[in-house]
Chains A and B, each alone.
Chain A
Amino acid sequence: MNLSVKLGRLVLKNPIMPASGCFGFGKEFSQFYDLNELGAIVIKAATGNPRFGNPTPRVAETPSGMLNAIGLQNPGVDQIIENELPFLEPFHTPVIANVAGSSEEEYVEVARKLSKSSTIKALELNISCPNVKEGGIQFGTEPDLAYELTKKVKDVTNKLLFVKLSPNVTNIVSIAKAVEEAGADGLSMINTLTGMQLDLKSRKPLIANETGGLSGPAIKPIAIRMIHQVRQQTSLPIIGMGGICTAEDVLEFLIAGADAVAVGTANFQNPFICKELVDNLPKVLEQYGIHSLDELKGAAIS
């Protein structure tokens, strides 16, 4: 079965990609399977300067999910371009770079630098990280700020620009509309939900940052609802994510209105998951009488 999908002018051989932050820069997972099997690879967020991130512990398991507060640890955009991208260059799987920052200037600088790389096929603008003190999510919770930032980044890049939306908002549609108006080429949704878990003995949070981003199957219904909601208001390509573990989950996201999907937390439970989803998807589609992914376009819009 032909699993290829189009995200604007970007053609993916299948709709499955690892989500940013759960896959490093690809090297570790290339020990498990050929990265050419993937529809795309979204690499870990880049910031202007190297970031060490938050104190440990940075992760904690929750029922059907996990909290993380890594804090955008990364070697900085220059090091990423110099030391990480060369490894990904030989693969024919498109690489999507996640762009983060604490200020408008930093986002623009990171986007401008990454845009010069021929290995990068699209940018994912991270205005939704809940784990850094400055920037990040504040750009993703105010439609005006989201608009301004998207526009500024769009001005310095010739790559497709996906904006990664935060679910920690009252009205996700208004943010989606704002970034669309600013020229976004697509949406990535959803990032993690801010959560907290306490240890009963110490009466303290289980992660050092106190709060963290909740991901995993626990948030899947929220992601499905939000994608469904946004899909009715925009025709932009959507990369859907939030707790995908099975090919059935992939189908559910596609029905909700996603054009492709990203897999995050499940990579930790099963490092082979992305490849297994690619392998299992045709069987599951057939099981539901679906002969082409085009049939699913807008399936759930009512």
Chain B
Amino acid sequence: MFRGDLEVKSNKLIASDTFEIVLQGNVVQQISRPGQFVHIKIGEGSTHMLRRPFSIADYNIKANQLTIIYKLIGDGTEWLSHRRTGENLNVLGPLGNGFEVEGIKDEHILVIGGGVGVPPLYNLVKQLSTQNHVTAILGYQSKDAIFYEQKFSRFADTFIATNDGSYGYKGFVTDVIDQMGVKFDQYYACGPLGMLGAVQQRLIDVDGYLSIEERMGCGVGACFACVCPAINEKGYVKICQDGPVFHSKEVTL
């Protein structure tokens, strides 16, 4: 784990209220797996006391760069959207454990993303696709919220669902799973809690990994802000420290 300044290389709107920011700096060298996240300081001085956690959508160790995709939600992301190329961001990370990718091969893997849960799956799909057959189902609110469809298509059979039916399948990602009727060896999912719960139930017989989002305090496991009930000795997990990725049988959503 490392705290450092990362330089903004680009920061652009890629879909409705959705930005892609590319950052460069040594924090990138510490990233070990897809699905880890960074905790970004917002603003100057003591106006914003909480950092904002963002999953890493993609990273390139050689170029020393990482990519984050974020949605404009409030003050913090608004501030972030105004950062220009050449400015520095104070970043704590990489945090969390990320997705298990080692030793997985010759499997048919399903990757399911919803909204801003899609980003961390991008680098995951990139890595998994080298030795596996990957199918991706990505859900968005509507057509104008869609991002990274082409990028995913390079590495996975990609299906898009929109809530309002303005593009691709109309409905939820779980509806698409139902329609496919294919048996997968493993799945990986990231998205809103409601979606993750539905996926967990729908694919109850399949080994899966869920990446969970929650509002965080410290981001390192000290403050107990981002806990989730779990089936383990303690009865809970800390999303920032023990996750954000958990085995589908471990957490109670």
Which residues of B are found within 8 Å of A32, using beta-carbon distances? 3
Q: Which 6 residue pairs are nearest across A and B when measured between Cβ atoms?
A: A24-B222, A57-B215, A28-B222, A59-B225, A61-B50, A217-B46
A75 CB-CB contact with B under 8 Å: yes
Whole-angstrom distance between the alpha carbons of A68 and B50 in the complex? 11
Which residues of B are found within 8 Å of A75, using beta-carbon distances? 234
8 A Cβ contacts from A26-43 to B: 28-29, 31-32
In the complex, are the beta carbons of B215 and A59 less than 8 A apart?
yes
In the complex, are the beta carbons of A73 and B215 less than 8 A apart?
no
Which residues of A are found within 8 Å of B217, using beta-carbon distances? 58-59, 66, 68, 268
Which residues of A are found within 8 Å of B235, using beta-carbon distances? 50, 52
Whole-angstrom distance between the alpha carbons of A75 and B238 in the complex? 13
Number of interface residues of A (CB under 8 A): 38
Closest to A69 in B: B225
Interface string of B198-216 (1 = CB under 8 A from A): 0000000000000000111
Number of interface residues of B (CB under 8 A): 32
- Contact A59 B216, CB 8 Å, known A23-B222, A28-B241: yes
Partner of A31, one of B1, B41, B75: B1
Give the Cβ gap from A3 to chain B, nearest Cβ, in Å. 23
Give the Cβ gap from A246 to chain B, nearest Cβ, in Å. 8
Closest to B219 in A: A268
Interface centre among A23, A28, A243, A266 (most CB of B within 10 A): A28
Taking A56-B227, A57-B225 as known contacts, 15 extra A-B pairs with beta carbons closer than 8 A to each other, sorted by chain A number, are A22-B222, A50-B235, A52-B236, A56-B228, A57-B215, A58-B215, A58-B225, A58-B226, A63-B47, A73-B227, A75-B234, A216-B46, A267-B222, A269-B50, A270-B41
A221 CB-CB contact with B under 8 Å: no
Q: Which residues of chain B have a CB within 8 Å of any CB of chain A?
A: 1, 3, 41, 46-51, 75-76, 92, 214-229, 234-236, 241
In the complex, are the beta carbons of A64 and B49 less than 8 A apart?
yes
Give the Cβ gap from B158 to chain A, nearest Cβ, in Å. 31
In the complex, are the beta carbons of A64 and B46 less than 8 A apart?
yes
Partner of A269, one of B51, B216, B223, B234: B51
Give the Cβ gap from A234 to chain B, nearest Cβ, in Å. 30
Which residues of A are found within 8 Å of B76, using beta-carbon distances? 61
Whole-angstrom distance between the alpha carbons of A130 and B10 in the complex? 43
Give the Cβ gap from B193 to chain A, nearest Cβ, in Å. 9
In the complex, are the beta carbons of B224 and A70 less than 8 A apart?
yes
Which residues of B are found within 8 Å of A278, using beta-carbon distances? none
Which residues of B are found within 8 Å of A254, using beta-carbon distances? none
A265 CB-CB contact with B under 8 Å: yes
Partner of A53, one of B41, B49, B227: B227
